[in-house]
């Protein structure tokens, strides 16, 4: 079960106060009746009291209030299937999560800037199916092609250098993995968005780009990092102390390989744009980059959604309060038989 407004459940903390007020009101009611007349006379004037009715009525009120508070929090449970048909293309996003992406020459880091660019892409209203691959020394599928933007945003936030099985940077392997997860289609375009600093460790990325071109898959590349001076790569040791990555006693400086990323894009008829030091794209926006893709009918995957169930809690709450209203506080008087 999920609640759309879970903060409203804090109102349940007031139930002990409500119970105390109900008990206090009952005691005051009995005390007032005792002051009204002598107990022997009171029995002839009023219906006899009951030891259980006041407490049952109080319990009904409390349960009714609980149900209404729960209803206000909008509980959701039970699954429903949804399937939609729209117009869209297919875009596989490749995000470099190697340790060099932790460098801070793009604020606040290359990896954080990459996530921000993907979030901007996900805001586009088109019905494109988008997949997500994180890669370093080995690519890892994080999300297959899907139209579920909420799911993609959740997966995106978890991207981290520790989420891939091997260190390093192998851009070519990531491109080949994306092509494997994009079956050829005839009625719509397919594209790859590659976000990286361009460092590569002998994975033949230009050869992979040519394979993409043979399938008419365009690659749009985003360069993150300074290609001239570069930046140091931050790290933490086992004690949590922060420093910079060292190799043979010297700090490692990572430079962006803008040339490689431009060649990859050019080989497929795509476009290469540069992310500036402030993390913003220094070139066309996503609607311009991907707006030219041919879009065809896409049957979106079925998505499981929780159904709103607040109405059941409203009905239960009103039912308990209605029962409290119907039950009399005193037992009915019995008619005395006269000879």
pLDDT of residue 44: 57
pLDDT for 209 beyond 70: yes
Answer whether 306's CB lies under 8 Å from 143's CB.
Answer: no
pLDDT of residue 305: 64
Find which of 253-262, 293-302, 328-337 is predicted with most confidence, using mean pLDDT. 253-262
pLDDT single digits (tens) 129-138: 899 999 998 9
| pTM passes above 0.85 | no
Weakest-pLDDT range from 30-39, 42-51, 115-124, 135-144: 42-51
When pLDDT is cut at 50, 70 and 90, the band that residue 116 belongs to is very high
pLDDT of residue 315: 93
When pLDDT is cut at 50, 70 and 90, the band that residue 41 belongs to is low
Contacts of 86 (CB under 8 A, 6+ apart): 127, 147, 297, 298, 300
pLDDT for 337 beyond 50: no
pLDDT for 50 beyond 80: no
pLDDT of residue 82: 61
State the chain's mean pLDDT as an integer. Answer: 84
pLDDT for 79 beyond 70: no
Domains and CATH numbers, the chain: 2-80+307-326 (no CATH), 85-299 (3.40.50.410)
Answer whether 207's CB lies under 8 Å from 175's CB.
Answer: no
| Mean pLDDT, range 105-124, rounded to an integer | 92
User: Of 245 and 79, which is predicted with more confidence?
Assistant: 245
| Mean pLDDT, range 210-217, rounded to an integer | 96
pLDDT for 92 beyond 60: yes
Find which of 32-46, 68-82, 169-183 is predicted with most confidence, using mean pLDDT. 169-183
pLDDT of residue 119: 94
Contacts of 34 (CB under 8 A, 6+ apart): 42
Tokens 């049957």 sit on residue: 299
When pLDDT is cut at 50, 70 and 90, the band that residue 334 belongs to is low
Answer whether 114's CB lies under 8 Å from 195's CB.
Answer: yes
Contacts of 22 (CB under 8 A, 6+ apart): 58, 61, 62
pLDDT single digits (tens) 162-173: 877 777 899 999
Neighbours of 127 (CB within 10 A): 16
| Mean pLDDT, range 217-243, rounded to an integer | 86
pLDDT of residue 333: 57
pLDDT of residue 235: 83
Percent of the chain with pLDDT over 90: 40
pLDDT of residue 335: 52
| Mean pLDDT, range 236-264, rounded to an integer | 84
The tokens for 1 are: 């079960």
pLDDT of residue 294: 83
């Amino acid at each position: 079960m999920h609640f759309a407004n879970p903060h409203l459940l804090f109102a349940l903390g007031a139930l002990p106060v409500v119970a105390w007020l109900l008990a206090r009101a009952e005691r005051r009611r009995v005390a007032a009746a005792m002051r009204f007349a002598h107990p022997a006379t009171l029995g002839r004037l009023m219906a006899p009291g009951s030891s259980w009715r006041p407490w049952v009525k109080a319990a009904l009120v409390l349960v009714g209030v609980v149900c209404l508070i729960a209803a206000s929090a909008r509980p959701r449970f039970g699954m429903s299937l949804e399937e939609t048909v729209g117009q869209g293309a297919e875009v596989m996003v490749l995000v470099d999560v190697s340790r060099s992406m932790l460098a801070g020459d793009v604020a606040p880091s290359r990896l954080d800037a990459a996530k921000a660019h993907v979030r901007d892409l996900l805001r586009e209203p088109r019905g494109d199916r988008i997949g997500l691959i994180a890669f370093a020394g080995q690519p890892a599928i994080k999300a297959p092609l899907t139209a579920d933007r909420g799911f993609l945003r959740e997966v995106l936030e978890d991207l981290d250098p520790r989420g891939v099985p091997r260190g390093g940077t192998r851009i070519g392997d990531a491109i080949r993995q994306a092509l494997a997860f994009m079956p050829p289609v005839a009625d719509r375009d397919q594209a790859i968005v590659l976000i990286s600093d361009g460092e590569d460790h002998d994975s033949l990325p230009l050869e992979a780009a040519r394979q993409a071109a043979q399938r008419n898959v365009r690659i749009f590349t985003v360069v993150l990092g300074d290609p001239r001076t570069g930046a140091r790569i931050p790290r933490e040791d086992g004690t949590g102390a922060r420093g910079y990555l060292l190799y043979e006693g010297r700090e490692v400086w990572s430079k962006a390989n803008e040339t490689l990323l431009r060649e990859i894009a050019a080989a497929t008829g795509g476009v290469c744009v540069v992310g500036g030091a402030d993390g913003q794209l220094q070139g066309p926006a996503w609607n311009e980059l991907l707006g030219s893709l041919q879009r065809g009918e896409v049957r979106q995957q079925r998505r499981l959604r929780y159904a709103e169930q607040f109405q059941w809690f409203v009905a239960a709450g009103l039912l308990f309060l209605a029962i409290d209203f119907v039950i009399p506080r005193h037992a009915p008087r019995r008619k005395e038989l006269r000879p």
